[in-house]
Amino acid sequence: MEFDLESQPEIVQTIAGYAIQGYELALTWLLSPAAWSQFGLLIVAYLAAVLVTRRLRPTLANLLDPGESDSIIAQARRFVAQFLPLLLPLLAYAFTGIGESVVRSIFDSGAVIAFGKRVFLFLAARALVRDIIHDPFLKLLGRFVLVPIAAIYALGLLDTLSATLTETVVGVGNIRFSLMTIVRGVIAGSLLFWLGQWSNKQTATIIAQQKEMRPSIRQLLIKTIEFTIFAVAFLLLMNIMGINLSALAVIGGAIGVGLGFGLQKIASNFISGVILLVEGQATVGDYVELDGGEAGIIVKMTARAAILETYDGRWIVVPNEDFITTRVVNYSDSGSANRYEAPFSVSYDTDINTVPAIIEAAVATHPDVLDEPYPPDCELRGFGDSGIDFAVEFWVNGVDDGPNKYTSDVLFLIWNALKDNDITIPYPHRTIEVSGELRTRPE
C-alpha cells in the first residue's frame, strides 16, 4: 500500500505510518495459520477464565466474608475481598500465558497471543479503577493515567512513546529535564504525596487516641511526623526524577535570603508554634484570652497560627508569635480551676449573720462547684443604698460561658435559698421630703 504523504505535515506522516504498519500487521495475522491458532487459544483461555470465575468467585466471596466482625483479620479479609473483580482478567491472563508457551514451541511465534495478554492486563486495570478504587484522587489518577498507559501498552506503543518522551528535553536555567522525567515526577509525586497524606492521617488518628499523653505532646508528635513524612516523600521524588539535590543549592540559598527578609514573620511564627507545642502552655481545647482582646477555644494549631473559636461561632486567626510575645490568660490549663463570684443583696431587715451559711450550703449543691481548692465562700461586701451587699465566691473546672452558665445557675440557687428562708431581696426605694407649705391651685 503506497501513499504520497511528502506534502503533508510531519504529524500526519507519522500517524499514517503507524496506520500502515497496523494494516500490514493485521493482514499478516489474517493470512497466517499461526495467528489463527493464537486467536483460538485466546478465545479458549477467556472462556475457561469465565467458567472458573463463575465457580470460584462465590466460594471466595463466602470464604472472605468476615460478617460483622471488626478484628484485624476481618479487616484484612474485607481488603482482599474487594479485589475479586480482578479475578476474571487475571485468570484469562494466566491461561493465555500457558497457551503462549505451547504456541511458541509449535510455531516459534506468539505475537497475537502476546497482544491478547496485554489486552487482558488493560481489562484488569480498567476493572481496578472502575470497581475497586474508591478514593476520589486515586480514581482520578487511575482514570487519566493508569488506564491510558495500559491502553498504550496493549497496542504495543509504550516503548515508542517512552523513547520519544525521553529524547525530548526541556530546560529551566541550568537544570534540564526530559519530558519522561516530568511525567514520571508528576505520577510519582502524586502517589507519594497522597500516600504521605494518608499515612499522616492514620498516624494522627492513632496518636490522638493516646489520652494519657498531654495534648501539647500529641500535637508536637503529629506535626513532627507530618514534617518527616513529607520530607521523605520530597527526597524520594527528587531521587525518582533523577535530580541532583546539589543543583537545588542556588534555589535553597534564595529561599534562605527570602526567609531572612521577606519571610521573617512566617519563620518567627513557625518557631513560636514549635515552642508552644514543646512547652504546652496553650494547646487545642484550651480557652485563652490574649492581651489584644482575642478570646476563644483553640480548635486548631497550624505551623503559622492558632485558630480560636468564640462562643458566638466566629473563628479568630491568631499568629503563633502573639502567644510568645504578649500576655496570655489560659482558663483551661491542665489541672487548674477557675474562681467566679455571684453578687446579691438582702434587705436591712435581715439578720445578716445567718446569710453566709444559707448561701454557702445552697451553692455547694451545684454539681460543678468544687470543694477544692476552696468551698463556696459568702462574703459581706458593703452597705448599699437599698440593701446589704453580699457576694459568693465559688470554684469550677471550666469557663463561665458557652455551654456552661455557672453564675446563672448559682444566682438561681441564691434566689431560691433566700425565698425559702423568707429573706427579702431589696429593690430601690426613694423618699421624697417636701419643705415649706404646700399650696393648692384654686378651682
Kindly write down the DSSP assignment for every residue of 62-83, as one continuous string.
Answer: HHH--TT--SHHHHHHHHHHTT
Give the pLDDT confidence of 168-208 residue by residue, as tens digits: 777 665 667 778 888 888 888 888 888 888 887 888 788 77
Query: Residue 286 sits in a domain of what CATH number?
Result: 2.30.30.60
**392 pLDDT exceeds 90?**
yes
**406 pLDDT exceeds 60?**
yes
Mean pLDDT of the chain: 79
> What is the rounded CA–CA span in Å between residue 58 and residue 79?
16
Same domain as 127, residue 36: yes
* pLDDT for the residue numbered 250: 57
* pLDDT for the residue numbered 366: 92
- Any residues with CB less than 8 A from the CB of 29 and at least 6 apart, and which? 35, 39, 111, 112
Q: Which of 69-73, 151-155, 410-414 has the weakest average pLDDT?
A: 69-73
The sign of the dihedral angle between the CA atoms of 365, 369, 374, 376 is: negative
* pLDDT for the residue numbered 83: 87
Give the pLDDT confidence of 90-113 residue by residue, as tens digits: 888 888 877 777 666 665 566 777
> Is 373 within a domain?
yes
> Is 434 within a domain?
no
Beta-carbon neighbour count of residue 303 at 10 Å? Answer: 14
> What is the rounded CA–CA span in Å between residue 213 and residue 331?
20
Calculate the dihedral angle through the C-alpha atoms of 3, 7, 11, 17, rounding to the nearest 10 degrees: 20
- At residue 326, what are phi and psi to the nearest 5 degrees? -125, 170
The sign of the dihedral angle between the CA atoms of 255, 258, 264, 265 is: negative
What's the pTM? 0.53
* pLDDT for the residue numbered 357: 92
Q: How many CA atoms lie within 13 Å of 388's alpha carbon, on the beta-carbon side? A: 15
Same domain as 107, residue 36: yes
**Helix, strand or coil for residue 169?**
strand
Among 295, 330, 365, the domain-final residue is 330
Rounded average pLDDT over 64-69: 78
Same domain as 124, residue 232: no
> Is 286 within a domain?
yes
- Structural domain harbouring 399: 338-420
Beta-carbon neighbour count of residue 348 at 10 Å? Answer: 13
> What is the rounded CA–CA span in Å between residue 336 and residue 281?
12
**132 pLDDT exceeds 90?**
no
Residue pair 282/332 in contact (Cβ under 8 Å)? The answer is no
Query: Residue 371 sits in a domain of what CATH number?
Result: 3.30.70.100
Rounded average pLDDT over 347-362: 90
> Is 308 within a domain?
yes
From residue 131, alpha-carbon distances to 46, 128, 276 in Å are 20, 6, 46
> What is the rounded CA–CA span in Å between residue 181 and residue 170?
10
Same domain as 79, residue 52: yes
Same domain as 142, residue 102: yes
**335 pLDDT exceeds 60?**
no
Rounded average pLDDT over 419-437: 79
Same domain as 141, residue 54: yes
Helix (H) or strand (E) holding 296: strand 295-301
| Residue 398 one-letter amino acid | G
Short-list 85, 91, 93, CA closest to 153? 93
Q: How many CA atoms lie within 13 Å of 289's alpha carbon, on the beta-carbon side? A: 5
Q: Count how many domains the chain has.
A: 4
The sign of the dihedral angle between the CA atoms of 254, 257, 263, 268 is: positive
| Residue 90 one-letter amino acid | L
Burial class (CB in 10 A: 0-12, 13-18, 19+), 241: middle
Q: Which three cell numbers stand for residue 401?
A: 460561658
> Is 2 within a domain?
no
> What is the rounded CA–CA span in Å between residue 11 and residue 155?
19
Same domain as 244, residue 197: yes
Among 260, 282, 315, the domain-final residue is 260
Same domain as 275, residue 237: no
Same domain as 277, residue 348: no
> Is 435 within a domain?
no
* pLDDT for the residue numbered 378: 93
* pLDDT for the residue numbered 345: 92
ω into 85 cis (within 30 of 0): no
Among 330, 364, 381, the domain-final residue is 330
Same domain as 140, residue 46: yes
* pLDDT for the residue numbered 412: 93
- At residue 89, what are phi and psi to the nearest 5 degrees? -65, -35
> Is 168 within a domain?
no
C-alpha 161: how far from chain center: 37
Give the pLDDT confidence of 19-63 residue by residue, as tens digits: 656 555 555 655 555 666 677 778 888 888 889 888 888 888 888
C-alpha 219: how far from chain center: 14
**For helices 87-107 and 111-127, what crossing angle results, to 10°?**
170
> Is 442 within a domain?
no
* pLDDT for the residue numbered 156: 79
Planar angle of CA 339, 340, 345, nearest 5 degrees: 140
**424 pLDDT exceeds 80?**
yes
Same domain as 102, residue 44: yes
**237 pLDDT exceeds 90?**
no
Helix (H) or strand (E) holding 176: strand 175-178
Q: Which three cell numbers stand for residue 43?
A: 478465545
Same domain as 123, residue 58: yes
Per the model's pLDDT, the better-predicted residue between 214 and 32 turns out to be 214
* pLDDT for the residue numbered 142: 86
